[in-house]
Amino acid sequence: MNQPENLEHKVEFTLGRSLLWLLIAGLFTAMQIQQSLRTGRLISWFLFDDDSIYYVEALRRLMVFHEGGPDKLLLDFIQNGIHAPGGTLPAMLGFGLFGSYDWAPSAARGLVIFGLILFIAEYLCRGLPLIWKLAVVVLGLSWRIIGATVTEGRPDLTMALLAAMGILLITESNWLRSHWRKQVFTGVIWGLALLWKPTTSAVTVFLLLSTLITASLVDWCRNKNLSAQIIPVNLRCIGVTIAVAFMHYAINWRGILGYIDMVLFGKSSREFHQNLSFFDHGLYYLSGAAGRWLIGYHWLGILLVLIVLCSIHFWYQQRQNVWQSMPLATVIMLIITWLSVSIPKTKTPHIGAVFPALIFFVALYLIIYLIRFYQSASYRQKLTFYGGMSLLTVLAIGQLKWPAARYDVASAQKVRAITQEIAVDLAQQVKPEELIVELSYWYSSVANYHTLKTGIDPQLLGVTFSHQDLANAVKLFNQADYIFFDTGYVDSLERDLDNGKITKSDYDTAQQLIRELNTPEFQRLKQYPNPYPLEAGRTLFLYQRVKS
């Protein structure tokens, strides 16, 4: 089922086709943005997710660029490392080109879609007529993981697609006999995967090394004469990977290791643990929560049919040479990737998205294999295949699901109106040198984002009362000129106490600080209605410290 060797290097780009792919990427991106602005994440929900953190960082970096120029921006990158370039840089590009609009980062991520379409149409579909390239591209764009790549501000999905692309490049054909250009390109893809979200680098490096070892062993077992190629081929790929990602890791290695340590062993180690049964852990990225979102039941069913059909055709074509032609490395890496995201208890749809992404590429690869097979089939067989492809396309488009449809539009608009009102008040009330401390779950990023869009950078900091952060929290509270207090924060403190995230002493200290807000030392400036649609009864207050 591996591609014939004579097709491996026939990747040709034309201006006309490239413009066509750019047009399709632009239309697809615009369609996703328009839907999301009406009933999806971009109406307000992204503000309460990791997206807002990346957008805040992007707006701040953009202010540095506008005020100080490229040299100041570069210095800022060196002095204050980027948590995830794949989250911040596209947002910077979008805000820089289109202005401070919520949809601007999503528009910039249209370049990711363009690159993905180029890879599918010009590499995976190399040698096929344009009509088949278009058909495969349309089928690919019907996957929810691709739409979510546009509207999700966090870099996890793009990183997953890059890693899956890297796995396929290494395992799709004889790796040890591949051209050096392919090895370099594969290294660039893996380097971008490492660069896109460095905090997942442990998994990315594991998958890279596993793929190289697996592909090399399979090729060597098939042809012992290739043993001399194992080291130079793999070193070439690894060297390019390191070259692409080295500068960022050299500057930010402390922050990267610190974050990984916090997630694996620190206070956040249990935050995303899933209490699932043995089988539910194994199915989480197939038919579980992540699989339903990123793949969908219809594509799982289609994939099973494709596997059966391709196996039959493969046996018919290659039954005399099964060992040499079977895509064994790809199958092994599917299993390894599935195990690497299924065994850990830590699970979210984003953390292990590399497995659904790999399934995405494998499904397209199987479709392309069938297309190539039927290029030389009889007229009747071609008609049957064309009918099957038509049904597949209709089914895929008919089952297309928006990545984050929200039907309670009124609540989302309420959230947006209230949070913008608060941010405007903060921008008008607070002087640039004054410090705002917020006692609210996740609101600091929302307020910072809204005020940064107006061109003002607020000194607004959130605090936590875990034992490690207690002294700094008390210090910031005592220095604050303003306190932004969310009554729901009391409930979150109680949950943290029950879950062991804070001690009884930490809890009592936090409660004492909250009680100080009702003393003459503070003046209540304004009260806001509850913007959180999922938690009734919460109220937001803005307090000012009374200056003596």
Q: Please report the DSSP string for 283-332 in residue order.
A: HTTTTSHHHHHHT-HHHHHHHHHHHHHHHHHHHHHHTTSHHHHS-HHHHH
By the 10 Å C-beta count (0-12 exposed, 13-18 middle, 19+ buried), 314 is classed as middle
Q: What are the angstrom distances between the C-alpha of 214 and each of 233, 341, 357, 488?
A: 14, 18, 19, 51
Question: How do strand 482-486 and strand 540-545 relate by DSSP bridges?
Answer: antiparallel
List Cβ neighbours of 391 (8 Å cut-off, separation of 6 or more). none
Rounded Cα distance between 397 and 110, Å, is 20
- Looking up tokens 């399709």 gives 24
Q: Supply the Cα-derived Rg of the chain in whole angstroms.
A: 26
Domain borders along the chain are 409-545
Q: pTM for this structure?
A: 0.89
The pLDDT tens digits of the residues spanning 377-407 come to 888 888 888 899 999 888 888 888 888 765 5
Looking at residue 430, the DSSP 8-state letter turns out to be S
Q: Are strands 435-439 and 482-486 parallel, antiparallel or unpaired?
A: parallel
Residue 490 CA: distances (Å) to CA of 47, 67, 475, 493, 507: 21, 40, 20, 5, 10
Contact 148, 353 (CB under 8 A): no
Task: Yes or no: say if 84 and 155 are a contact pair by the CB < 8 Å rule.
Answer: yes
Which residue in 17, 6, 11, 237 sits closest to 124, CA to CA?
A: 11
Residue with tokens 């040499």: 324
**Tokens (6 digits) for 137:** 């591209």
d(CA 355, CA 151): 20
Number of alpha helices (DSSP H) and beta strands (DSSP E) in the chain: 24, 5
Q: What is the pLDDT along the chain (548 residues), one digit of tens a residue?
A: 555 443 454 777 889 999 999 999 999 999 999 998 888 888 777 776 788 889 999 999 999 999 999 999 999 998 888 889 999 999 999 999 999 999 999 999 999 999 999 999 999 999 899 999 999 999 999 999 999 999 999 999 999 999 999 999 999 989 999 999 999 999 999 999 999 999 889 999 999 999 999 999 999 999 999 999 999 999 999 999 999 999 999 998 888 887 777 766 666 656 667 788 888 899 999 989 899 999 999 999 999 999 998 888 888 777 667 667 788 999 999 999 999 999 988 888 888 999 999 999 999 999 999 999 888 888 888 888 889 999 988 888 888 888 876 556 777 777 778 878 887 787 788 787 788 888 876 666 777 788 888 787 766 666 655 555 778 888 888 888 888 888 877 877 888 788 777 788 888 888 888 899 989 999 999 888 776 655 666 788 889 999 87
E-assigned strands of 425-521? Answer: 435-439, 459-462, 482-486
What does the alpha-carbon distance between residue 469 and residue 227 come to, in Å, rounded to a whole number? 54
Q: How far apart are the first and last CA of the chain?
A: 79
Cβ-contact 186, 144 below 8 angstroms: no
DSSP-derived secondary structure letter, 528:
E
Closest CA to 29 of 96, 86, 110, 108: 110
Tokens of 309: 């059909």
Model pLDDT, residue 536: 65
Residue that is written with structure tokens 């060992």 in the block: 323
